Structure formats: C-alpha cells, structure tokens
Structure 1
C-alpha cells in the first residue's frame, strides 16, 4: 500500500488549456469551450487529490520515521540478545565441562549409588522408625529415673550378699541332710514293722482314702450311688458308681450305660483316661481298671437289663487287665455262671474267646482280624476284640446298628435298656 501512495505522489499532472476562458472569448456552444470547462473541473478534482495526497505523504513520512525508529530499537535488542546468547553459551560450556568431570569420577558415582540404596533400605524398613521411637522412650524413661542406677547398685549388693549366704546355707543343709538320712536309715526298719502290723483297711481309714467301692461298703456304706475313690493310691480321686446291693454289695462299676446320650465311639486316649458321667453313662478308664485289679483276685459281673424289666447276668470269678505297655490285655477266668451264658471266655468258637486279647479302639488296631474290628461301621467302639466278638457292650446305641450285644441270649440292641460291668476284689 505504501508503494501505491508514493506512485500517486510522483505521478505527472496533465496540462490544462485555459486560454479561452481567460481571454473571455468563447462560444458557449463551441466544442472547444466545452472541453475547456471539462478540463477546469478535472483541475479542481486534481487539486483536491493533490491536497489529499499531501496529507497522505505527511502521514506516510511519519509512519516511515516510526518504522525506522522501530528498526533501530530492534537492532539494539538484537545486539543485547547476542551478548546474552554468548554469555549462555559460555555458561553451558562450563556446565558441560563440570558434568564431564563428574562422569569421569567413578568413585563419586559409586558413592551416590550406595547412598541411594541405603536411603531406599531405610525407607523400606518401617520397623526402624518404631524401634528408634521405642528406644527414645526408654532412654527418656531411664533419664527421668535418676535413682535407677542407685537402686540397681543396692540390688546387686543384696544379690552378692545372698549368694554368699546361700553358699553357707548349702553347706549347712548338706550337713542336715546327711543327719536326716542317718536317722531315716536307723528308723526305716521300725516304719516297715509298723506298717506290716496294720491292716490295709486301717491305713486307708486313717488317711480317708478309699481304693474302691468295697472299702466304702466295709465302712458301712450300703446305699448305691456315686462315690469318690482313689485307685492310684494317692489323693488323686475319681468319681465312680458303686453298687451296694448286687451279690452282697461293694461293686465298682467300670462301665455303665442307661441311654444313648454318651457316645462310646472314642479314641485310645479317651478309653485310657475315661469319659462320661457315673450317674448315667461312662467308662471308668483303662488305667483305673488296671489299678483296681492288679495284684488282687477280682471278679467281673456283667448285667444287661431289657426294656421289659428282665435282667440277665454273667459272673466271672477271675478278672484283671495289664497296663498300657501291654495294650491293657485281658485276663478272664472261670467258673462263669449266670443267665446270660458265657460269650467271652469259652464260646465254643476260638475266634470269639476274649481272654488274652489286647484292647482296640477305632484309632488303634490290636485285634486278630484282618482289618480293625473297632473301626467297622457296624461296631465303632473300644473292646478286647479277637476276630471280632460274640459279646460287645460298647457298640453304638442305635438299635439299627447294635447287633449281638451278647450272643445268643441278647441278639439285638433294640430291647436293651441298661448295661453294667462291675468289679470287686475278693
């Protein structure tokens, strides 16, 4: 646009013919006069254009001067920018030189990596902070207790003093023990003579320990019920059911079942220690049976009462079991008398004779059967099995399962109301 304006400024102005008008000689209708008038109008227009162009020229000159000033300012800014660029280049070269120096220093890089790993490890170990806090609390506590060290010193002196006294006391006690041993050795013979001159019943009465139900019976207890006895010969007592009526009384029940409330599908350990409640259904425990029968002549009385009130029984004159080391093996001897008929000792089938058999449970097989009689689904209980049995009172109570409680007298558990196994020393 600026170049277009300059072109108009310098464009030549056409020459106008003014002679006819100035001289006053003209013909209004002549062609020459008409042309001159037209030329005059064009001159006026041109003058107006010239005036406008003059104004434009002035404005353009101002604009050009402003552009020139702007160019000067840009040149100065460019000179300043070149100086800054030069300075930045020098700084960049210096930094590059420092980086190259650091890269060449491998030891520094390794130290940085080591420190980074240590920082990472410390951040990961969350327990370290807790330990430090705990130690700080302990240190603060110890710092606050200024008398702690004095207390420790006093206690240490007391400990040292006690140690010396204990040494002297040990020497004195050693002499006292030797003196007691000498007195014991002198009097042991007298003690044995004193015990031999007293009956077992008298000793038990003095200490109020009753080994079995017969001891209660001998002391005048004739009421059947639950009593506490000490079959292990010390103050450790167990509760048992005592039958003070049957065959003269004094019988200790080792097994009693009056309902199906107590399961007899038990482990070896449970049969060893006993389970259940003597006033209802229970097994006294194989350890207790061994203690009640070892070294004594004892009898076994078995009874089965039916729901119609009929009671069958069988009495074996000799009964005992060995300890756990021998798997509580059974010894059973005759004569066998009663209404049940013998189905344990002499059954007529050697596979069903139980004397000499070890005790078995579902978790411990000691029978002569190829499998485990105690674990069979139709048995599930502890007993002295052979191959397997003709008499078994610890089976599941369910009538649908309980077959052969005592063959052939009681062939099904459907009619059974109660069972008991009683022992009594002669």
Structure 2
C-alpha cells in the first residue's frame, strides 16, 4: 500500500464549518486501509480531509479511517499510533486511512499519548522547529546557539541568569556583555564577539543588531568601585543599526538607578545622554583602531561608540574602561573597578512563532 506524508495546517470545511486548531501535524495517508485497534468514536464526514480535521481536533486521536458506509461515509477515530508504515493497519478496499506521524523536528522526541514534542537542547517551539531566539529561552548560565526572529544569523553566545534587576530582586535571564576588560580589539573581533575568558565577554555587534531588530531591549550598565556602593545606568529601548550603518547605537532615554553613594549628576553626563553635546553618543557609530570612522578610536585605542565632536570622554587602557564624571562643571576621569553591561529583554514584536 502506498503512503504519502502530508501536512495539515488550518483547514476550513464547509457544511458544519469544522476548524482545525492552529497546529501543524504530519499525517501519513494509507489507501485501502483502516485501523482496527484502540478504536474510540465513529462519526460522519463528507471528505477525507474533514475526517483528518476531526482527528486533529480530538486530542486522543492518532489515526482516522474514512470508510464507505450505507448512504454515505464514516470517520472512525483510533488511539493507535503506528509511527509510520501502512502495514500496521488492516487492508480494506472501502476505507482510506490517515495517521499522525512524528511531527517533531531537529531531533525532537514525539510523545503520542499527548501529541507533544520534547526538544533537544538548542531548539524550542511546539515542534522544535526553531532555535532559541534569545537568552530568555535558554538553560541558565551556559553557552547556547541563538537565531533571532526573522534572521538567518545563528551565533553562539553566553547567557547568564542574573538575580538582580535594578531595584527589584527578581531573577531575570540576561546577556552578560562584559566586565571591565581590554577593548583594544579589531573591528572583526568586536563584530563577531569575544568568547568568555576570565569574566570577560562581549556579545558582538552583529548579535546586538540582530537581537534589537526582533524586539525591545534595554541596556543596563552596572558600576562598582571598591569602597563604594554600586550604581547603574539604564538605556531604554536600545537599537543597534547594521554594519553598513556603522552599528550606530540609539536609545529612547537614560535612567539612573543608584544603590548608595552614586547620585545622578556625576554620572549622567558622562554616560553620553544628557548635558554636553560633545559627549552624547546617542546615534554614534562604533569605531575600532582598524576601522576608525571618525578619528576617535585611533586616539583612544579601543573599540566603542564615539561622538566625533568630542570623541566622548571615555578613557581606555588594557585593564578596561574609566568612566567620566562631571562634578560642578569640571570633567574628571574616575576609575571604576567593575563595569558590567547587560542586555535586558523587554518584549518581542512578534510573539506567535508557529511555523504554518
């Protein structure tokens, strides 16, 4: 007996208007065959497609026999799972059978008793049809491959489960961009990202671009200086442009969230969002010493977003970044022991990711 694998998506059948739930299920078709095991219910149907829809909408149905009967046709549902192959069904010239087969992709395991898929690490979705989109879907604190929404770009990143979300002690999965580290890197290195090494990690400009295309993210800069309480700056709704646009950085506004000795005025101006226009990096392009778009990266010696008017007021050295402060109108450079940048997912633009 011949069999053919087809996909039943969203089907509307006239005369009674039977709607299949919005799911993708693989069906195997067996001509001149019927199921005689684990029979459930029998109903009427006008076509084989309608019989398949009835089976799809019944959570216990795994195969359906569409058979000729006196004055019409019947649709007989069965809980028998054949896992492929028409030979496991009985021959019957008056029937045509449709049976659910494993719909799970990318190595997923199918559980016929509740028609669900268990995905292997790295894939999600009702049918394991896609990779993780960002760290909110990955196991905690590990390397994972991600593929942002509507992107062909697949990359390996490090995801960290962060217990502190500003003032709220709410666990949140985040991207760890970097602790203080050496930013004297090539354009290609900053573009691709820097693997985790001695608490130093950079997500990569292309990853930032692809991720911020798929939804809303905030950038949280966490500061800690020995002998002081921690403080942070949050850039809301950030966007990183494409490589052709110099991976320019944009955001809606800056929020200061301080935990002790830091106050707003000393740091807000130095973080490139308010005050002196020569230090504003909203819309600034990224530069490195080997791709110095505005003459700043060469003199500073490190890759960063630079305002060409003042090349920002950041100071770089092999140990990391020194963030500027602005006290009573005078600009000073203050060494920060730990600078940690975290990308916080807020929401995706598209939540329904079923592949139909």
- Runs of 5+ unmatched residues, structure 2: 12-19, 25-122, 259-263, 347-356
Tell me if 1:316 matches 2:235: yes
Distance in 2 separating the partners of 1:295 and 1:244: 22
SS, match of residue 304 in structure 1? strand
Tell me if 1:358 matches 2:279: no
Tell me if 1:381 matches 2:307: no
State the 1:425 CA deviation: 1.9
Structure 1 residue corresponding to 2:276, chosen from 346, 349, 352: 349
Contact 1:256 1:278 in 2 (8 A): no
Distance in 1 separating the partners of 2:312 and 2:325: 5
SS, match of residue 307 in structure 1? coil
Q: 1:327 to 1:204 in 2, by over 3 A?
A: farther
Distance in 2 separating the partners of 1:204 and 1:238: 23
Deviations 1:121-149 (A, max 9, x none): xxxxxxxxxxxxxxxxxxxxxxxxxxxxx
SS, match of residue 294 in structure 1? helix
Contact 1:252 1:423 in 2 (8 A): yes
Structure 1 residue corresponding to 2:174, chosen from 249, 252, 258: 252
Larger relative helix fraction: 1
Counterpart in the other structure of 2:255: 336
Larger relative strand fraction: 2
Deviations 1:230-263 (A, max 9, x none): 14467944131414212134343352125x5xx3
Distance in 1 separating the partners of 2:186 and 2:277: 27
SS, match of residue 407 in structure 1? strand
Distance in 1 separating the partners of 2:171 and 2:289: 34
Distance in 2 separating the partners of 1:380 and 1:355: 21
Counterpart in the other structure of 1:423: 343
Contact 1:303 1:419 in 2 (8 A): yes
Q: 1:205 to 1:229 in 2, by over 3 A?
A: farther
Deviates more, 1:343-352 or 1:296-305: 343-352
**Which protein has greater RCO, CA pairs closer than 8 Å, 6+ apart?**
2
Give the alignment's Cα RMSD to 1 decimal. Answer: 3.7
Distance in 2 separating the partners of 1:243 and 1:304: 18
Distance in 2 separating the partners of 1:282 and 1:204: 32
What TM-score does the superposition give when structure 1 sets the normalisation length?
Answer: 0.44
Q: 1:235 to 1:322 in 2, by over 3 A?
A: closer
Distance in 2 separating the partners of 1:313 and 1:346: 14
Counterpart in the other structure of 1:240: 158
